[in-house]
Amino acid sequence: MEPIHFSNWIEASKEYFPGRQLRYQHALRHQRRQLDYLLRSAKHTAFGLAHDFDSILDAENVHAAFDSRVPLTDYSGMKQWWSRSYQGEANVSWPGLTTYFALSSGTTEGASKYIPITHKMLKSIMRVSQRQLLDIVREGTITDFLAKDYLVIGGSTDLRQEGSSFSGDLSGITTANMPIWFKGSSKPSSEIRMLRDWEVKMNQMVEAAPSWDIVIIAGVPAWVKMLLERVIERYKLQHIHELWPRFSVYIHGGVSIDPYQHSLASLFGKPVSFYETYLASEGFLAWQSRKEAKGMRLNVRGGIFFEFIEFSESNFDDIGQLKKEVRVTPFHEVEEQKDYAVVISTCAGTWRYLIGDVIRFVDLKLCEIKISGRTKHFLSLCGEHLSVANMNQAIQQLSSRSGLNLAEFTVQGVQEDGKFGHQWYIACQNQPDNPQSMTHLLDTILGELNDDYAVERKGALERMSVEWIPEDWFIEWMAECGKLGSQNKVPRVMTAVQYASWIEFLDTRKKI
């Protein structure tokens, strides 16, 4: 097959994506336009009428009026509106009928959520996906990728139908709606994509792997790692590049890549460039536009309006719940290296929605961010303020310093006899030669990363222990919970219900 060249396509794309270096002032202008567009589009919907969008648009300060008249909310607040859309009612929180609903993995509350995906949002997601591929091509990281194969490890495209609504994994919805020109080079086949049984799907991908010429892989790290390990084992390879020599780009998202860096590198025979995405069930919020970028660039002109709430004790309580009186930080007031909870309003009928993620601006000039954690996924039993970002970095450093291949882990705060402690569970196929030494090293690294943790370890936080377990146990527990699949992740900090299930599973597993 003759290579496909992209010079004309890239040149033409400049009309739609002018200027790679999106400046902060331009971003602010785009965001003002997005708010105006969203309010005007939805002013005649049930939600728009209930919150008098017309009067907000007529206000001298539109954002101030929007802030005062539309309350901050989360899934529990939007569910009453989205349930009506799911039942087939039109013009509820966005004009027209909403056909698709993404099933969120529900890592915080445990139960699945149905997040609306309108046709406008689908277009926005596709646009950013194409933009990131163009950025990768422009950098010279990869060429002629349409002449090769692009592996997407996603959910089933066999969506569940109820009336006029279809629901399923967001990756399944987007894959089912990918452009025709892209389907020919995208793997696995449509027949494999439709499979709902994750184990059957994984096995069929392993069997089909030798017929593919993979150049890009996209997917959640845990499941990508699992597939590569199975392919290597099945075909007795030293590394994955023996089978896919052109594989050079990995596009990842869903969880931090930090804990997986070392174990993934052991599966490669050549350098692979990593590019991060921030594709949430609510929309494509940001993407990494350059290989050496500090973070991901916010999608400021894709039907999403951003607001921020500083993640501090003045706005959130000690379990990550939003307090009654909070100050919303508009885009033009954010500062670098401060943690903010993200609030979005979108062309999917999401309004002032607290998605639960905490981000940090690492380059305000280029509107680049990093995800630093979750509002409810952190530990602070006695003031240690240990974030998920700290945990991910600690596992990455422990892997690097010890040479152990670590990836999955979870941490739980415990209290016994009035004493506080952290209980870690870390996947490690081969037990460390000196587990106590590795636990001490992890404790030291956490203290280096977090001053509050170091202080509390000398005081109220008396115990820190690690249980080293086989990686398969995490996968088995996820399967028991019905959470096996591309969109699901091992929770880094479990809820009380999840932890009870986890302990019960461990007790049973250890008896086998």
> Any idea of the CA torsion for 333, 338, 343, 347, to the nearest 10 degrees?
70
CB atoms within 10 A of CB 185: 17
pLDDT tens digits, the chain, 512 residues: what are they?
Answer: 333 343 443 343 343 344 444 578 899 999 999 999 999 999 999 999 999 999 999 999 999 999 999 999 999 999 999 999 999 999 999 999 999 999 875 444 445 689 999 999 999 999 998 899 888 888 887 766 666 888 988 878 888 888 888 888 888 888 777 776 666 678 999 899 888 888 899 999 999 999 999 999 998 888 898 899 999 999 999 999 999 999 999 999 877 888 888 889 999 999 999 999 999 889 999 999 998 898 999 999 999 999 999 998 899 876 678 888 899 999 999 999 999 999 999 999 999 999 989 999 999 999 999 988 777 767 877 768 788 888 988 999 999 898 888 888 999 988 877 778 999 999 987 778 899 999 999 999 999 998 888 888 887 788 899 999 988 899 899 888 887 776 678 888 887 888 899 999 999 988 87
pLDDT at site 433? 86
pLDDT at site 440? 94
Helix (H) or strand (E) holding 57: helix 53-58
Q: Does domain 121-163+173-280 have CATH number 3.40.50?
A: yes
> Any idea of the CA torsion for 423, 426, 432, 435, to the nearest 10 degrees?
0
* Chain centre distance of CA 326: 26
Distances (CA, A) of 127 to 131, 132, 141, 156, 272: 6, 9, 20, 22, 24
Query: Structural domain boundaries of the chain?
Result: 121-163+173-280, 378-511
According to DSSP, the β-strands at 249-252 and 273-280 are parallel
CB atoms within 10 A of CB 23: 12
Look at residue 404 and give its three-state secondary structure: coil
DSSP class per residue in 460-505: TEEEEEEEEE-HHHHHHHHHHTT--STT----SB--HHHHHHHHHH
As beta bridge partners, residue 101 has: 116, 167
Give yes or no for a cis peptide into 188 (omega within 30° of 0): yes
As beta bridge partners, residue 314 has: none
* Strand segments (E) across 136-260: 149-153, 160-162, 165-168, 186-187, 214-219, 249-252
- Alpha-carbon Rg for the chain, nearest whole angstrom, is 23
pLDDT at site 11? 42
Tokens of 25: 């002032």
Spell out the long-range contacts of 426-432 with Cβ–Cβ below 8 A and sequence spacing 24 or more: 426/395, 426/466, 426/467, 426/468, 426/469, 427/469, 427/470, 427/471, 427/473, 427/474, 428/404, 428/468, 428/469, 428/470, 428/471, 429/405, 429/470, 429/471, 430/404, 431/468, 432/402, 432/404, 432/468
C-beta separation of 491 from 502 below 8 A: no
Residue with tokens 């739980």: 412
Identify the CATH class of 378-511.
Answer: alpha beta
pLDDT at site 253? 87
Helix (H) or strand (E) holding 447: helix 435-449
In 3D space, the residue among 129, 242, 108 whose CA is nearest the CA of residue 177 turns out to be 129
Query: For every residue of 350-380, which 3-state class applies, written as one string?
Result: EEEEEEEEEEEEEECCCCEEEEEEECCCEEC
* Chain centre distance of CA 340: 16
* Chain centre distance of CA 25: 27
C-beta separation of 468 from 476 below 8 A: no
C-beta separation of 155 from 168 below 8 A: yes
Look at residue 301 and give its three-state secondary structure: coil
Give me the helices (H) in 185-321, please.
Answer: 190-193, 198-208, 221-234, 261-265
Q: Determine the Cα–Cα distance for residues 72 and 27; give it in Å rounded to an integer.
A: 23
What predicted TM-score, i.e. pTM, was given to this entire model?
0.79
Q: Determine the Cα–Cα distance for residues 117 and 124; give it in Å rounded to an integer.
A: 10
Q: Helices 24-42 & 62-69, crossing angle to 10 degrees?
A: 60
Distances (CA, A) of 111 to 95, 281, 447: 28, 14, 34
C-beta separation of 106 from 112 below 8 A: yes
pLDDT at site 7? 40
